[in-house]
Each structure stands twice: as C-alpha cells, then as structure tokens.
Amino acid sequence: MSWFSFGRRRSLSRPAATRSPWPLDMPLLRWTAEESFTLEDACKGLQIWGMTGSGKSSASGHLVALSYLRSGFGGLVLCAKPDEAETWRKYCQQTGRADQLVVFSPSSPWRFNFLDYELSRPGAGAGLTENILRLFMTVAEIAGRGTGGGEGREDEGYWKRSLQQLLRNTIDLLVIATGRVSVPDLYRLVVSAPTSFDQTGSETWQTRSFCWQCLQHGDTASKRGYQAHDFQLVADYFLLEYPGLSEKTRSVIVSTFTSMIDVLNRGVLRELFCTTTNVTPEDCLDGKIVVIDLPVKEFAEVGQFAAVLWKYLFQRAVERRDVRGDPRPVFLFVDESQLFTTAFDALFQTTARSARCCTVFLTQNLNNYLTAYKGPSGPAEAKSLLGNLTTHVVHALADSDTAQFVAELIGRRRQLFMNGSASHESPHPIDDLFGRRSGQQSGGFSESFEYDLQPSELFRMKTGGIANNFQVQGLVWRGGRPFPSTCRSYLWTIFDQRRT
C-alpha cells in the first residue's frame, strides 16, 4: 500500500499515552475550598509545627496520613510514643489498608537482618563495604547524641576517621574470609585483634583469635577483582598498623566501636536485626505500610537505633528504584522527628521529589532540631533540612524562635504607615474661657519593609478540643509558588478534629 493517497501522507498510528495512576498534579487533600495539596507538593516534603496540645497530630497530621493511605502509597512510620502503632492500625482499617500493615516490634513475627540484606539486596551497590560502613556511621551519629559524642573537639575528625578505618577493614576481612557480615562476628573480630607485635607471632593468640582465623581463611580464599588488593590492605592494617597504635589511642577506637555495636549484639535489637529476614524496605515500595513499633518513650535508645536503621535503609531503597517502572509514591511519616533526624536526611530530601517519596516531619519547635544536630555544623544542617521541606503547616506555637523562623519564611513586604500630630497653646487664661486656642496640626505617610505576618499571630491560634469546638487553626506556607486565592506564599485554614 502506498504511503500517499490523494496527495496526503498517512500518519503512523501511535498508542495512546497512558496516564500514571499517580500523576504529580494529583490532589491529595484540600487546605481550603480553593487550594489543594498535590502529589508534587507532598514529594517536596512537609514539615508540621505546633506546641504540645496544638493539634498537629490530631488535625493536619491525621489528615495527611489518611490522604496518603487512601491514595495507595506505601510507607514507613517511626514511633516515638507508645500509642502510635495503634493509631496507625486504626488509620489502615479506616482506609481499607489493614491487610498491608506490617507492625515491626518484639512481639510480632517480623524480622530484618540488615547486614544480610545489605550484602544481597537489589542494585549494583549491594555488598559494597562503604555502604555498610555508612550505615554504621549513621547509627553512630544517633548514639553520639546521647553521650555528647565529642562534638566540637578539635580531634573529633581523627577519631571518626579512625573508627571508619577499623570498620572498613573489619567488614572487608569478614566478607573475604566468610562471605558474610554479622554483628556478632564484627564484635568477635575486633576484640580478638592483636594489641602488640609480639602477640601476632604468639601461637597461643593465633589459636584463640577469631581475627587470626579470618586472616588465614582470607589468605587462601578465592578472590574476585579488587578483593586481592583489598585483602593485602586488610592484612597490613591488622598485623602492622593496628598493633602499632598506642594503647590509649587503640582503646578509644575500640571502645567507640564496641559501645556502638554492643546494643545491636544483645536483647531486642539482636533478635530483630541479627537473625532472619521476612520484611525489607522494598516491601514499602510494593505498597506495604511498615510501622516501627519500638517507641522511644518506652525503648529509649534501642527504639532510636531501630528506627534510624530502618529509615536510612528505606531512604536508600527509595533512591535506587526506577520510578519509571515503579511509580508508586511512598511516604516517610515521623512524629517527634527531632528524635530520628540524621545528617543524611537533608541530602535525601534534595532528590526526594524525583524518587517520589513524601516526607512528613512533625515537631514542636525549631530548637528541637538545633538541639538534635550537635557540633559546629549543627545549625547549618538543621536549616538545610528545613530548607528542603517546601511546605510548612504551622499550628499554635509556644516558642518565639520558631515564630520568628516562620515569619522569615513568609518574608517582608512594603507597608505604608500613617502618622499625625496636633498641638495647641493658650497664651492667656481668658482665651481658654472663651474657647479660643491656637495650635498646629501635621500628618504624613511613611513606608517600611515589615513582616507580612507578625510572629505574635502564631501564639493566638485555636488548638482544638471542646473549648474550641474541635477546630484547630493552621497556617500553610508553600515555597516557590504563591497560593492563587491569597496571592501570597501562605494561607490560613481550619482543621476540624471530628472530620479529619
């Protein structure tokens, strides 16, 4: 058949473009009758502020959680309070997602061997020592907060690099010698490493040392590619460099390592993270809602460790997936977010939109973050994180620094002020008697750049409950795109606790 008929060229037929079930312009909820919160807004990150009792969890937090569940998102939820897991059970039942809920807790059957997962997970980076190392350093960041962590010391960088060097060589040796990495083996290897040159030649030490056994197995094991070179570096470290360290230096490095690894090597965390695996972060990408039910208010540091492990590996899984073939949005929902934030969060948030991950952080005030991010770079890290969360919902505040921060977000605009004055004088008492006065009057205008919203407005907002007819007042700020209904970057709204 000719391509030409009656002087016209026939067009090739093309299949109709299929629209994603989750387009970025998809409305998830409405702040007001005129303004919606879209998937694109959600993927750019949401920060919810409000003092204790302001309604942030029961109003805007509740509304956002239900909208994400109704839209079919998978997600990860970190718990700070004991009742949060039950709250999410109710959310999932209310939205028909109960069969996709996974509650990860000591009383549940779910387990996640994070080291086995990191060695065998999907992706070209599986098994790389630096990825496992970064995971441990993220955990160490949380551990350091409770003890002060040495932030601000001039030699902090040296101790951090020394810990990384010990971890790197320990992980490499285990992978080459045994083909796997486990928390118990990491501990056994480090505590059995030689502490002097004399010890390396001792038959007694060699017989008892797990480190020596791994070195022997590694020497005879078949090695692929770069492993032969890496093993030589490992052997030099444990047989030459490590025993040559001063006793004080080595003891500090080992103590830092064992204090970090110890909590993972016993009790609840060992059972949950060092046995088997029947749930992984990839399950969230498939639509599961994984709730880490080790609330910090009950499990303290153990709960933080568990949550941060999951959060970091979830974020990495989200980053490496191909959203073209797997476009389902996922969410990271964290109430009391200051307890779980790490330096990686700001970096993750820079690409969260393209990865289709909707981060939701809730906290009371700005200083919670400034306290969590310690060290000289702490304030910059906190501001970096908040600058990458481009929608902020503000409920009643009780902190002037946060109110000032929100006012700065909204910005200043030129405002006109009217002023006037009047004066009079009575040169003689008789003038007062007859109402005769002389004087002057003046008036004028001035302009100044002042806050578009005064910080004091954020202290007088409705907080819900019976006293406020269950109405919670909120201010919504959106960066980069003014709201058409207000022609400003912010709007006021009301959340009804009985309807959300």
Q: HEC string of the chain?
A: CCCEECCEECCCCCCCCCCCCCCCCCEEEECCCCCEEEHHHHHCCEEEECCCCCCHHHHHHHHHHHHHHHCCCEEEEECCCCCHHHHHHHHHHHCCCHHHEEEECCCCCCCCCHHHHHHHCCCCCCCCHHHHHHHHHHHHHHHHHHHCCCCCCCCHHHHHHHHHHHHHHHHHHHHHHHCCCCHHHHHHHHHCCCCCHHHHCCHHHHHHCHHHHHHHHHHHCCCCCCHHHHHHHHHHHHHHHHHHCCHHHHHHHHHHHHHHHHHHHCHHHHHHHCCCCCCCCHHHHCCCEEEECCCHHHHCHHHHHHHHHHHHHHHHHHHHCCCCCCCCCEEEEEECHHHCCCHHHHHHHCCHHHHCEEEEEEECCHHHHHHHCCCCCHHHHHHHHHHCCCEEEECCCCCHHHHHHHHHHHCEEEEEEEEEEEEEECCCHHHHHCCCCEEEEEEEEEEEEEECCCHHHHHCCCECCHHHCCEEEEEEEECCCCECCCCECEEEEEEECCCC
Most confident of 12-21, 228-237, 371-380: 228-237
> For residue range 386-403, what is the model confidence (pLDDT) as tens digits?
999 999 999 999 999 999
131 pLDDT more than 60: yes
Q: What percent of the chain has pLDDT over 90?
A: 73
Domains of the chain: 27-109+285-412+453-496 (3.40.50.300), 114-268 (no CATH)
Q: What is the pTM of this model?
A: 0.87
Banded pLDDT at 418 (limits 50, 70, 90): low
pLDDT confidence of residue 416: 58
pLDDT confidence of residue 3: 40
